[in-house]
Structure 1
């Protein structure tokens, strides 16, 4: 497994990370616990070291699931990236974000216990709390680094100004943000800012939540509670338009002897050695499909052909429901 550094001050991690959100909460359909654990272990066996979670995924379920999957593994053989701050209700509703310093310490204490570890490798607020200066939130994480409970500070879905302010308090290892062939707003201002400051990028949503995986079709409906049922890109005429883009990618993938999923993961990885794509695989089958993307070499001609098939801004519909777009660091 190849490795990449997350920024100039961050850790060396596998070039492909595993995003564990889909293993809890039913946000992309009902997961299977046994298969989820087997998938985490298969990823580790394949050399994946970076595992991304959030303390609010299933209200702690995801962290406890990972603790079970990681039991017996040497702690220095993997890195845990943990998001915090998203508020949940007993009905699974969302209630904003809490970035107060006291809350940071509280969230961390619970995560360490649920994960069964003495430190978190990268700790990050899930979203910006508009009522708390980012300097205060990052300052609290810095205190936890000084105390030995955290190794690095990360950010998630914030804009370029917030990145600069946070980085002035403590070096930021990476920004986690959606980045894929159909979500490229990060290229305008955020990615240049990261590179200026020596900050890495961990890209989630590299398959567009399955939309550009090659496995979605117009007849497929989302399960009850599936986040995609509320997402404009999966609705009506937007879906038909976006699936036509996938058909164009199929032809490129076929010429490369790859699947569409492998092609689009390889495209993200090819955008720079400072970018680590996260595969949100919930099953060993999907993980096994994602891993060969690391060996897919895209030439300049390949990248140009992919660009012609799916130009920047080609997708229709927002990547999140309209009401949620204001909480994101970049647009589509």
Structure 2
């Protein structure tokens, strides 16, 4: 068996990531029932992953209503200046706004994310796929201001048993959004035990982003 290639991947814009990233969503699952013991175990697990080389940590403001970001912020304070990359997402928490992308709501959520993570900038920031006109403008502004280093986007994903028509529709939707967002980085879900999707679709003409772990 060939040993896995653990060389760091160049995602673009000076971002280099270990091929396996860490999703921090589990830290938000126990909202309302969390304890210091739970917090300690989660932070120990994250710390162990970092020590083994993982440097891309993915979270979202919606994970545990912000708890995941706060937990990750505790970890980051213990690992200053060590090349960790942080990715977060916006588009599921609307608060009192009419929708999650209304007016300056994204900017407000971004500021809260910065405070929770205890960072001045994010390496990747990922919008969801509704009300994209406003969202794209704000993402690009944040990137131009240096508040985020790259705009990310998830690759197309369907469950293993999806029908060919569902896979095709998912791929077409992805390409439509890709052409609108023009992300710097695209990453996809991958499970080694599952065969790759055979769906094919024509890509639009745009700049080539990097690809990263889920």
Indicate whether the TM-score tops 0.5: yes
State how 1:39-188 maps to structure 2 within 5 Å: 39-87=45-93, 98-100=100-102, 102-125=104-127, 127-129=128-130, 132=131, 134-156=132-154, 159-167=174-182, 172-180=183-191, 182=194, 184-185=196-197, 187-188=199-200
Distance in 2, Cα, partners of 1:183 & 1:58: 32
- Segments of 5+ residues of structure 2 without an aligned counterpart are 1-5, 157-172
Shift in Å at residue 177 of structure 1? 3.8
Distance 2:52 2:211 in 1: 22
- In 2, Cα distance between the equivalents of 1:46 and 1:185? 30
Higher helix fraction (1 or 2): 1
Identify which of structures 1 and 2 has the higher relative contact order when contacts are C-alpha pairs closer than 8 Å and 6+ apart: 1
> Who is 1:11 aligned against?
15
Does residue 22 in structure 1 map to residue 26 in structure 2? yes
* Partner Cα separation in structure 2 for residue 149 and residue 183 of structure 1: 38
Runs of 4+ in 1 over 3 A off after TM superposition: 176-187, 192-197
CA RMSD of aligned residues (A): 3.2
* Structure 1: gaps (5+ residues): 90-95, 203-275, 279-332
TM-score by length of 2: 0.74
Q: In the superposition, relative to structure 1, how do residues 100 and 110 fare at CA in structure 2: closer, same or farther (>3 Å)?
A: same
Deviations 1:124-159 (A, max 9, x none): 11x211xx2x34312211111222211110123661
How does the TM-score come out when normalised to structure 1? 0.49
With over 3 angstroms needed to count, the CA separation of the structure-2 counterparts of 1:144 and 1:12, relative to structure 1, is same
- Offset at residue 36 of structure 1 (A): 0.7
For 2:149 and 2:120, the matched residues in 1 are separated by: 11
